[in-house]
Amino acid sequence: MKETGQGLFDLTGRVVAVVGAGSGIGEAAARACARQGATVACLDLDAESADRVAAAIREAGGRAWSAAVDIRDADQVEAVLEATTEELGGLHGTVCTPGVNVRKPLLEYTSDEFDRVVDVNLRGSFHLLRSAARRMEEGGSIVLFSSIRAQVVEPGQGVYAATKAGVIQLARTAAAELSGRGIRVNAICPGVVETPLTAPIKAHPDWYDAYAARNAMRRWGRPDELAGPVVFLLSEAASYVTGTALFVDGGWTAVDGRFQPPGMDSR
């Protein structure tokens, strides 16, 4: 394990590709990786957003490059990661944050809606995992994004939940298959986080507050609160961590109900 001035979480000398870097958790992760010394490839479906984040990193004294990519397109993913490797001189870490959801009961789902959710969440994660692993150097780390919905569900979340459970199994399988090459693969499972994906919920105070009350910390998470776990999994601090699903959910999956029996002190 290397010793550096920044300690276990130092990413100096590493090239990290962050997909979804144009907003939300991806943007927070890209900025955090740059602060820890990584050269960051800011990749996003929205080229302007990716450019904006890369420019902000450079203005803060970091190193960043940007490009557009649609993770549903395997050829695009191959091309952009090849360009990243050539432009930045290697690939040591990859983070995949994009996700979509169509909230509907299963019996009302259309085939097109099913395909849309699966194509981004599961197929897109697979495309990125495969392309990154083909180019990644020994000691590299791949971080996929799953969700608490991989473990706990509610009406209207069936297809989304299935894809997020699938992401965990992709990560576990890849961890087993790539261990001989010194590549670690893990998944992060966020709880409710204020991002563009969850923005529609904020327009419904009852829904928003109910989700906040559901976890142990009784609030929503912020994108920057997911950046630390990303840096951890990319860094030497997680050198013995692979094939795991890290739940960053404010205690959502630990809490079962909110009724407090008389005489029970919650402190």
CATH code of residue 62: 3.40.50.720
Tokens 């507050």 locate to 209
Whether pLDDT at 265 is above 80: no
Please check whether residue 259 lies inside any domain of the structure. Answer: no
Tokens 């690939």 locate to 91
Q: What percent of the chain has pLDDT over 90?
A: 84
Please check whether residue 179 lies inside any domain of the structure. Answer: yes
Please check whether residue 3 lies inside any domain of the structure. Answer: no
What average pLDDT score do residues 150-162 get?
95
The tokens describing 233, both together, are 């999994």
Catalytic residues: 160
Cα–Cα separations (whole angstroms), residue 53 to 23, 40, 85, 142: 8, 10, 19, 21
Q: What is the tally of structural domains in the chain?
A: 1
- Given a contact cutoff of 8 angstroms between Cβ atoms, the answer to whether 185 and 95 are in contact is no
Pick the range with the lowest mean pLDDT from 104-118, 161-175, 210-224.
Answer: 210-224
Please check whether residue 230 lies inside any domain of the structure. Answer: yes
Please check whether residue 258 lies inside any domain of the structure. Answer: no
Nearest Cα to 247, choosing from 101, 128, 146? 146
Q: How far apart are CA 63 and CA 35, in angstroms?
A: 9
Domain, as residue range, for 211: 11-251
Name the band, by pLDDT with cuts 50, 70 and 90, for residue 1.
very low
What average pLDDT score do residues 233-260 get?
91
Q: How far apart are CA 62 and CA 34, in angstroms?
A: 6
Predicted pLDDT of residue 61: 97
What average pLDDT score do residues 82-96 get?
98
Q: How far apart are CA 207 and CA 118, in angstroms?
A: 25
Tokens 């205690």 locate to 251
Prediction pTM value: 0.93
Please check whether residue 256 lies inside any domain of the structure. Answer: no
